[in-house]
Amino acid sequence: MPKEKPLVLTEEYEVLQLYPRPPILTSLDVNWHGVSFGYMCQPAYEVPEVSTPRWHSIAIFTHGNRIIHADRKLDGRFHRDAVVGGDIVITPVNIGQGAAWEDEGDFIILGIEPDVFARTIDEAADAKNLELLPHFATPDPLIYQIGLALKGVLENNPTNSRLYAETMINALSVHLMQHYSTRKPILQEYKDGLSKYKFHKVIDYINANLDHDLSLTELAALVQMSPHYFSHLFKQSMGISVHQYVIRCRVERAKNLLLQGNVSIAEVAYKVGFANQSHLNRHFKRLLGITPKQILS
């Protein structure tokens, strides 16, 4: 008999349709470039063997310390996993995976497009030259925390979350390259931050586009750098991450607009790029020690 081939999936909705229950959270309605995210809770079930040319897939299990047994087929190999919260399963592009699990549990499915993954540290990198290795269930605290961070931003502040999401995916991709790939990256060390010209170019661009859903990829491309090295050098220059700097700029802009008067807090939140008034209030109080309402009074 001919060997049965995995079902090939190319769209996010096709992945979600494999499961009996709809997802609790997804990134379908947010502007995350090259990344897909789904968080769900599923009963005991079996999904057929599938593969995709579109994403490297990372399953992140979040069901706590109880063990859920799963019979898994991955890259033609079979294994009975004893899965606990904090475990991950890695399925690279074009690799088949199928599973049957014995109890209800919640988990995250995270997809990263190969080009986005490969260009994390090298803008000229070819995805074909960087091979991610398949892994059955294994604990990885860093990937688990990144998964929870992405879940948290979708739950609380999905609008204009692209910069934060790409920062997390950048860190995740570097970690995957270092620990789960055939070719370990050689990470260059820089000690002096961005050049004065590049620094001011980025700062001016951020301040001119605070109301937009800024992207780590676009900021890095502005100075012709990979996302990884740009993030590294920006933090050396400023002492904080790009995402933290943008939040501070938005709060400062909001404060100035409120002091000018004749504009509501909700309008100010929108004008400076916050998802909503609540999002502005939280960061305003955290950074300035007072609320926007107190500024108005």
What's the pLDDT tens digit per position in 193-247? Answer: 899 999 999 999 999 999 998 999 999 999 999 898 899 999 999 999 999 999 9
Per-residue pLDDT at 71: 98
Digit-coded pLDDT (tens) for 114-145? 999 988 877 545 556 678 999 999 999 999 99
- Measured distance CA(152)–CA(285) in Å, rounded: 20
Same fold, 14-180 and 244-296: no
The continuous run of DSSP H or E covering 35 comes out as: strand 35-42
What is the CB neighbour count within 10 angstroms for residue 188? Answer: 9
Predicted structure pTM score: 0.87
Instruction: Give Cα separations from 63 to 42, 58, 85, 178 (angstroms).
Output: 11, 16, 5, 27
Per-residue pLDDT at 1: 37
Confidence of residue 42 (pLDDT cuts 50, 70, 90): very high
**CATH code for the part of the protein at 14-180:** 2.60.120.10
Per-residue pLDDT at 130: 76
The continuous run of DSSP H or E covering 136 comes out as: strand 135-139
Per-residue pLDDT at 125: 55
- In the chain, alpha helices (H): 12-16, 114-118, 141-156, 162-180, 196-208, 216-222, 227-238, 242-260, 265-271, 277-288, 292-296
pLDDT above 90 (res 275): no
Percent of the chain with pLDDT over 90: 72
- Measured distance CA(297)–CA(292) in Å, rounded: 9
Domain ranges, ordered by start, for the chain: 14-180, 196-239, 244-296
Per-residue pLDDT at 182: 85
- Measured distance CA(217)–CA(296) in Å, rounded: 36
Q: Which two tokens stand for residue 132?
A: 């991610």
**Between 80 and 12, where is the model more confident?**
80
Q: Note whether 258 and 265 are within 8 A (CB).
A: yes
Digit-coded pLDDT (tens) for 83-107? 999 999 999 999 999 999 999 999 9
Distance from the Cα of residue 67 to its chain's centroid? 26
244-296 topology per CATH:
Arc Repressor Mutant, subunit A (1.10.10)
pLDDT above 80 (res 50): yes
The overall longest dimension of the chain from CA atoms, in Å, is 78
Nearest CA to 227 among 267, 260, 263, 185? 185
